[in-house]
Amino acid sequence: MTRKALLSVSDKTGLLEFARQLIDLDFEIISTGGTKKALEKGGLAVTGVEDITGFPEMLDGRVKTLHPKIHGGLLAKRDNPAHMAQLREVDIAPIDLVVVNLYPFKETIEKPDTTEVEAIEQIDIGGPSMLRAAAKNFADVLTVVDPADYEPVVSFLEAGHNDLAFKKELATKVFQHTAAYDTLIANYLTTEAFPEKLTLTYEKQQSLRYGENSHQKAAFYRNPIPTKLSIITKQLHGKELSFNNLKDANAALNMVSEFSEPCVVAMKHMNPCGVGIADNIEQAWDEAYESDPMSIFGGIVAVNREIDAATAQKMHEIFLEIVIAPSFSAEALEILGKKKNIRLLQADLSHADEAERFETIAVSGGLLVQETDRQVEAAPSFTVVTKKQPTAEQLKALQFGQHVVKFVKSNAVVVTTATKTLGVGMGQPNRIDATKIAVQKAMAKDGYEDAILASDAFFPMDDCVKYAAQHNIKAIVQPGGSIHDKDSIAMADKYGIAMVTTGVRHFRH
């Protein structure tokens, strides 16, 4: 008996050659609409679906394959005598191979001017139905959803194999494909921030050499609809990125994207070790480097302006894992490209205000979802709670410190000037230890005489204020809100420190 293959595809890559090979293997080709026309134009004999069903395409093509003569041929179990007898009774022929890929819903909604009506018209109904039916019956029906599988399928058929594992692999790919397709539709239509059913889908970007440690396997997945501010960037130079590289680079990119003035961020183990702002990127690099010349070694650096030759030359003098920038001058590329192991990434920072709205964190047995912390507090919103008023220069430094501390792992305390970090205390189980680390690292740095201290959360006791005051910190910014705020305020007044509160906490666990 001649085997039957049903072909109905949106992506016609390699279709004609594949159909020819199927015909050479004694398959009868059944097809629909545009696929049928493409095959006939290529000189192939094709049976129309309407010739099988006895019904024409209806409702502008919305109904064509939704028919028992199609789905009966897909779902009948060949080793079930009752199923096969029923097919014979109603004159339905088994279909042995289904090649379907779906209407281009993703490509449609990626276009900025697509209307909802246009998007909905690209929701495929018949395609997923056929794929799911065939995949459910994978023991008897081969399913092909990806043109990359044409060659393996032909080899499988030519060899005359009946390898159930191969069929199951193809069927699994079908359900992954249709699940991702439906997820895109659901997410497009969903208006709730936190729906009762959260559906997510990602596409594999690449396998990674290993995860956080060499004994952990890992892979990198991307959003199917590209995010405008994304670590999936153009790599201009260097070896493949690792799991930890990607995490650090993402943190650096998100941080530097929030600064409007020329800024350099040096990141190490998901924490900023040096941040500098200035009138140009070379000066910003100097500020960031001077923040912590030791920790920046082997770090990830992100900048929000083009890297010029002078800045590149300074970067070239130390070991850096990654440099991320909107662009590199030709001279800068030549200078940095001499270092074999450095990775140079070009990232579009022009859409910083369109960063992802939500972030997800995996936990055992589930997933945490929250809005991304994109809030930035400016000096005009600060509340002065002490007798001592901050100077204009201190207000600039307090604003800068508040901006930096939100990107530091909690408990977090930073000591800064108006243009650079001097000391960063991060990830401590108590706030006084974080304060001591930040202050001790800052004391030997140029500019410490003008230093301020920023805390990501309120002070539960007055010990941090006292320690800062005793080590010549002149101003402090913190959220406020502790039942012991009055103690910290009194301590600041005792030492003549200016302290402001923001009313906003920026924990980063």
Q: Which residues are catalytic?
A: 136, 269
User: CA 330, 335, 338: angle at the middle one, nearest 5?
Assistant: 120
Asked if residues 97 and 142 have their Cβ atoms less than 8 Å apart, the reply is yes
In the numeric block, the tokens 């991060």 are attached to 426
C-alpha 242/C-alpha 272 separation (Å) is 19
- Kind of pairing between the strands at 97-101 and 3-9: parallel
Number of neighbours of residue 135 by Cβ within 10 angstroms:
24
CA distance 18 to 41: 15
Within 10 angstroms of residue 240's Cβ, the number of other Cβ atoms is 11
Using an 8 Å Cβ cutoff, are 304 and 256 in contact? yes
- Give DSSP secondary structure letters for 403-439: HHHTTSPSS-EEEE-SSBEEEEE-S-SSHHHHHHHHH
d(CA 472, CA 459): 18
Contacts of 158 (CB under 8 A, 6+ apart): 25
